[in-house]
A and B are shown apart, each in its own frame.
Chain A
Amino acid sequence: DVVMTQTPPSLSVAIGQSVSISCKSSQSLVYSDGKTYLHWLLQSPGRSPKRLIYQVSNLGSGVPDRFSGTGSQKDFTLKISRVEAEDLGVYYCAQTTHFPLTFGSGTKLEIK
């Protein structure tokens, strides 16, 4: 199985600051079609997960452009510019290149 390693496990950031979350996979996430199926989701407190970014860098519908994703092969990063209060929650990376599909263990973002 592909192991997804997220760091850091938690972050505390002030409103307006920028933050980055890392996600590393144990195998390349490039599929045979050439695409990389690495995604980022946010689970706000008491809510269902919400997709933020799909296939490394594509912004989901309605997601503010303060969120951005980069990376390739086995190393990926989610960046949040100008953090807002509504950004608090747990961020997960997920790979859907290989079955079984797997998630990172999550990064909890708190607002100072």
Chain B
Amino acid sequence: EVQLVESGGGLVQPGRSLKLSCVASGFTFSNYGMNWIRQAPGKGLEWVAYISSGSSYIYYAETVKGRFTISRDNAKNTLYLQMTSLRSEDTALYYCARRYYDGFAYWGQGTLVTVSS
């Protein structure tokens, strides 16, 4: 069974940093590109970043480019999102989701990031 489990969310002050993790199981993690997608409270879905299976291709939404860094450790079956210079508008539930060209077939349960002083 495919499982994606996010962690690392919490309450953080504006301008500070936070690192999210997503541990994958039930499939060969190193074969799949991965995404971070977020959802602000009461709002819709916003794609944040993508990393290919071997980390050769990385893409970001303009809203996070230069502040967020997506990475992965295939040996640990783990996807990361390093978030710096956090803003109130980054407050959201952050999901990791597998691949994209098959419509994000698997999602985690999400980890909540709240940016507030």
A-B contact count, CB below 8 Å? Answer: 69
The answer to the question of A49 belonging to the interface, with a C-beta cut-off of 8 Å to chain B, is yes
B103 and A96 contact, CB distance less than 8 A: yes
Residues of B within 8 Å of A, CB-based: how many? 23
Neighbour of B45 across the interface among A60, A61, A92, A96, CB < 8 A: A92
A49 and B103 contact, CB distance less than 8 A: no
A51 and B103 contact, CB distance less than 8 A: yes
**With A92-B44, A92-B45, A101-B47 as given contacts, are A51 and B101 in contact (CB-CB < 8 Å)?**
no
The answer to the question of B95 belonging to the interface, with a C-beta cut-off of 8 Å to chain A, is yes
Alpha-carbon distance between A34 and B109 when the two chains are bound, in angstroms: 33
The answer to the question of B14 belonging to the interface, with a C-beta cut-off of 8 Å to chain A, is no
B107 and A48 contact, CB distance less than 8 A: yes
Residues of A within 8 Å of B, CB-based: how many? 28
Chain A residues lying within 8 Å of B108, measured Cβ to Cβ, are: 48
The answer to the question of A39 belonging to the interface, with a C-beta cut-off of 8 Å to chain B, is yes
B103 and A94 contact, CB distance less than 8 A: yes
Chain A residues lying within 8 Å of B106, measured Cβ to Cβ, are: 51
Alpha-carbon distance between A55 and B105 when the two chains are bound, in angstroms: 12
A39 and B104 contact, CB distance less than 8 A: yes
The answer to the question of A78 belonging to the interface, with a C-beta cut-off of 8 Å to chain B, is no
A60 and B46 contact, CB distance less than 8 A: no
